[in-house]
Amino acid sequence: MLGRAVFLLFLSLAACSSSPEPPLQKIQGFAQGTTYHISFWSEEPVDAQAIESDVQAEFDSLDKTLSNYRPDSVIERFNANASVKSQEVGPEIVHLVNIARQVYQLSHGCFDLTIKPLFDMWGFTGDTLTIPAPEAIQAGLARVGMDKLEVVDDTHLLKKQEDVRVDLSAEAQGYSVGKISEVLEAHDVHNYMVEIGGELKTNGHRPNGQGWRIAVEKPLAGERSVHKIVTMPKDAPMSVMTSGTYRHYFDSNGVRYSHILDARTGRPVSHNLVAVTVFHEDPAIADAWSTTLLCLGQAEGLQVANAEKLNAIFIRQQDSELLETQSDALRVSNNLMIQ
């Protein structure tokens, strides 16, 4: 799909308090080809082992449903089936397709879940760049288009063209953040930060009463330093998703090929927008939009973000200088403190 990039780091900030605070509990591990970290606390006793067990069970379920890297997952069985008849894929995949279809329409086709054949063609699924011939790209584009994918009902999809392939990676990690958050909520835990591969969601606040604080990484290849510090709202859930072009790319004959593909052209984007961070209550929506706005580029992306009232940060690279622009909604937002 339109590839993902990781840009968010944790800031562990110590705070002094005159009274004992509830302990901050942590769960961490490896899932979905990356790491995850969960921090939470509760004024009432909770069973941390049961939470960890349920988190792992949820990761296993998500992997079996959404993973494009295991042939037995629901989405890959759908991809492998050349039938143009209705296929059952379950409510989660249909939900993600419905989100994607709206973003596809608003982005005029830049964001498209069916771009998987082209993503594979360029070699971004593996580790070797393959620059396709123009005629190969045109042939790939003939297989791409959300109009070739139909939602039959809440649990079924239908291919209008038998060689359609769907890549959920531009939404799946954000969706997973949301599902793991639901595990905590089911255990009556309402103060938490859930992070998977740099994509995260917070709810509530830290034990000291302060809002969760995160750091957005400076979007420069070969460098890992803080660009912005964000204090999240204490009275509402909030997700932070970042997409960028500076982590996953190939260099060939002096040309850099980003893993972000524009589904309208079948080619990597070539503008100087290097990262987009989106803040949204729904992590799956934030995930889709961060990729989409990066695909669109500064001018078109900012126009769409303003029209849709999205909270977004755009970062362009001009020579060695990073230039930041905030969407209209973010500039007037009272929910986020950005330093």
Is 287 exposed, middle or buried, given 0-12, 13-18 or 19+ CB atoms closer than 10 A?
A: buried
Q: Which amino acid is at 129?
A: L
Q: Which tens digit of pLDDT belongs to each residue from 303-316?
A: 999 999 999 999 99
Mean pLDDT, the chain, whole residue set: 89
Identical fold between 8-64+170-338 and 82-169: no
Q: Which tens digit of pLDDT belongs to each residue from 25-44?
A: 999 999 998 999 999 999 89
* Domain regions of the chain by residue span: 8-64+170-338, 82-169
Name the superfamily (CATH) of residues 82-169: ApbE-like superfamily (1.10.3980.10)
Quick one: pLDDT at residue 215? 86
pLDDT surpasses 50 at 11? no
Alpha-carbon distance of 324 to 339, in angstroms, equals 13
Q: Which residues pair with 202 in a beta bridge?
A: 193, 238
Do residues 100 and 146 lie in contact, with contact meaning Cβ atoms separated by under 8 Å? yes
Place of tokens 């995160």: 214
DSSP state letter for 40: E
DSSP state letter for 233: P
Q: Which of 7, 55, 64 is nearest to 181 (CA)?
A: 55
The length of the chain, given as a count of residues = 339
pLDDT surpasses 80 at 240? yes
Quick one: pLDDT at residue 21? 77
| The domain made up of 8-64+170-338 is a member of CATH 2.30.42.10 | no
What does pTM read for this prediction?
Answer: 0.91
Do residues 320 and 208 lie in contact, with contact meaning Cβ atoms separated by under 8 Å? no
Alpha-carbon distance of 121 to 267, in angstroms, equals 10
Rounded to 5°, angle at Cα 196 from 120 and 212: 145
Quick one: pLDDT at residue 124? 78
